[in-house]
Amino acid sequence: MNDVNLKLIINHAKRYGFIYKSSEIYNGINGVYDYGPWGVEMKNNIKEYWWNFMVKLRDNIVGIDSSILMNNKVWIASGHKKEFNEYYIIIKNKIYNIKKFILLIFDIINNKKLYKKILILYKKKKIKLIIYKLKLIIKHYKILKYRNIKVKKINLMFNTKINSFLNNKYTYLRPETAQGIFINIKNIINSTKMKIPFGVAQVGKSFRNEIITKEFIFRTKEFEQMEMQFFIYPGQEKKWFKYWINNRLSWLYFLNLGINNFRIKKHKNLSHYTKYAIDIEFNFLNIYKELEGIHFRKNFDLKSHIKYSKKKIMFYNSKTKKKYIPYIIETSLGLDRVFYALLCKSLINENNRIFLKLPYFISPIKIAILPLISKDKKIIKISKYIYNNLKYKFNIIYDDKNSIGKRYHYQDSIGTPFCITIDKYSLVNKTVTIRYRDSMKQIRYEIDLLYFFFKKEFDISYFFKREIKDV
């Protein structure tokens, strides 16, 4: 049985150079993490996989890299300044997110009808009424000792000051990457040949001043998003919404996280900009939670930017000869959450052996070159020859320190799919041993053919060819 829990994941991620707590030498900072040497490689591989799938291999999607700091009017227009709030319940010294608190209470009293009523109130943001009702429930069912419930509303955006003598004295760190796309849409249209339907993608940092950030990198204050905004003719939203759910699912399935570990959940608590939305949930350590969101944003954002900026961001339909504002389908995935999902499912603890069974294309290091006898100059020479030949093609590592058992263990722990050992027979018959990470099977292989062997092993173009069809 695979016996993996959060503690093991956190310890493994630290011990093997994936993720460290930020500012650790100063006792850390809540909900902020640093990615170590293997973490950054793995992150880059996830990004590359996403970028290839969403941008590089499609004619109808381009990418951008917009700034984190924007004019503060962007966040007034987007509705984040007014609406991007979270409500927290404080009882004695404990803080609960209101949604979680409601769930907690109704789990105890098991009254679905009442639960639904409270959710409707939540949707309407009738927080005072909810608290009143919750207090009555708590009293009636004698659930909690402390009836002194306080509520706090907190805007999730980080304020930041801009040193200037002009108008803008403050702005926010962006809480989503999407707005950078919307405010640039005119520039993108004018500088490319994109025609509706088309998409704009971006990968970048977002910041949310989340208070409850307990579960490692699942919810953090600083995180990366991989978002794509797809611009369509009004009326075509059903078709494209379905198209993007299927496309995103196939991207996720290919990460080998287990098809049965995903489920789709219709959004009940819609954010201020969505007309309808679904979450792709993933079974993180036996609890299903949001991994990616697919949102139909209608034309909320563009309409609002037209209103606030007073610029004409209109599109022209040459068939109907009418101006219109396109609708938008958004796919929004947290890079750190995919990273976490991969750790949850790839860390294998079986029969006294721990290894990271990552898909090959996600592994930080693809091949480790391990000379068996580190003092033999001829073996070192041939090992370096192999290393120098392959390092321009694949991300590889050379290691001649410690026993071979320890070296295998380290490579298994960072998820390296193949280890090459060079021994005295390599000098005679120009072959090496290739060891497979998952099965630990070993084969002899010709040195001159290594490149072709690995090229085949790491090639995933068949997946892209199968999934990215002309639309």
**x-marked contacts with ligand ATP along 281-310 as a string, rule CB under 6 A:** ---------xxxx-----------------
Site for ligand ATP in 190-219 (CB under 6 A): 208, 210, 219
In degrees, rounded to 5, the angle at the alpha carbon of residue 18 between the alpha carbons of residues 45 and 421 is 75
Query: Pairing state of beta strands 19-21 and 33-35?
Result: antiparallel
**x-marked contacts with ligand ATP along 319-358 as a string, rule CB under 6 A:** -------------xxx-xx---------------------
d(CA 163, CA 301): 28
d(CA 52, CA 121): 43
Site for ligand ATP in 216-235 (CB under 6 A): 219-220, 223, 225
Q: Which is nearer to ligand ATP, 336 or 412 (CB)?
A: 336
Q: Which is nearer to ligand ATP, 58 or 208 (CB)?
A: 208
CB 357 within 8 A of CB 12: no
Q: Which is nearer to ligand ATP, 227 or 399 (CB)?
A: 227
Q: How far is the CB of 102 from ligand ATP (least distance, A)?
A: 14
**x-marked contacts with ligand ATP along 71-110 as a string, rule CB under 6 A:** ----------------------------------------
Q: Which of 455, 359, 262 is nearest to 42 (CA)?
A: 359
Q: How far is the CB of 56 from ligand ATP (least distance, A)?
A: 22
- Beta-carbon count within 10 A of 102 CB: 21
Q: How far is the CB of 225 from ligand ATP (least distance, A)?
A: 5
Q: In 335-449, where does DSSP find H-type helix?
A: 335-346, 377-390, 404-413, 424-429
What torsion do the CA atoms of 335, 339, 341, 343 make, to the nearest 10 degrees?
-170
Q: How far is the CB of 305 from ligand ATP (least distance, A)?
A: 19
The dihedral sign for the CA sequence 136, 137, 138, 142: positive
Q: Which is nearer to ligand ATP, 223 or 387 (CB)?
A: 223
Residues that contact ligand ATP, how many (by CB under 6 A)? 15
Cα 457 vs. chain centroid, distance in angstroms? 25
Q: Which is nearer to ligand ATP, 219 or 435 (CB)?
A: 219
Q: How far is the CB of 103 from ligand ATP (least distance, A)?
A: 13
CB 36 within 8 A of CB 12: no
Q: Which is nearer to ligand ATP, 333 or 414 (CB)?
A: 333
Instruction: Give the SS3 label for residue 76.
Output: helix
Q: Which is nearer to ligand ATP, 210 or 423 (CB)?
A: 210
Q: How far is the CB of 310 from ligand ATP (least distance, A)?
A: 28
CB 379 within 8 A of CB 427: yes
Q: Which is nearer to ligand ATP, 17 or 334 (CB)?
A: 334
Q: How far is the CB of 202 from ligand ATP (least distance, A)?
A: 13
Q: How far is the CB of 336 from ligand ATP (least distance, A)?
A: 5
Q: Which is nearer to ligand ATP, 137 or 277 (CB)?
A: 277
Q: How far is the CB of 58 from ligand ATP (least distance, A)?
A: 21
Is residue 180 a contact point for ligand ATP (CB under 6 A)? Answer: no
Residue nearest ligand ATP by beta-carbon distance: 334
| Residue recorded with tokens 């939305």 | 277
For the residues of 279-340, what is the DSSP string, one character each? EEEEEETTEEEEEEEEEEEETHHHHHHHHHH-----EEETTTTEEE--EEEEEEEEHHHHHH
CB 70 within 8 A of CB 183: yes
Bridge partners of residue 90, in order along the sequence: 95, 150
Q: Which is nearer to ligand ATP, 293 or 371 (CB)?
A: 293
Give residues with Cβ within 8 angstroms of 286, minimum separation 6. Answer: none
Q: How far is the CB of 328 from ligand ATP (least distance, A)?
A: 14
291 to each of 14, 145, 208, 249, 288, how far by Cα in Å? 23, 36, 16, 11, 9
Q: Which is nearer to ligand ATP, 301 or 412 (CB)?
A: 301
**x-marked contacts with ligand ATP along 411-450 as a string, rule CB under 6 A:** ----------------------------------------
Tokens (6 digits) for 259: 């098809």
Q: How far is the CB of 250 from ligand ATP (least distance, A)?
A: 18
Q: Which is nearer to ligand ATP, 290 or 467 (CB)?
A: 290
Q: How far is the CB of 316 from ligand ATP (least distance, A)?
A: 31
For the residues of 6-43, what is the DSSP string, one character each? HHHHHHHHHHTTSEEETTGGGT--TT-EEE-HHHHHHH
Binding site for ligand ATP (CB under 6 A): 208, 210, 219-220, 223, 225, 290-293, 332-334, 336-337
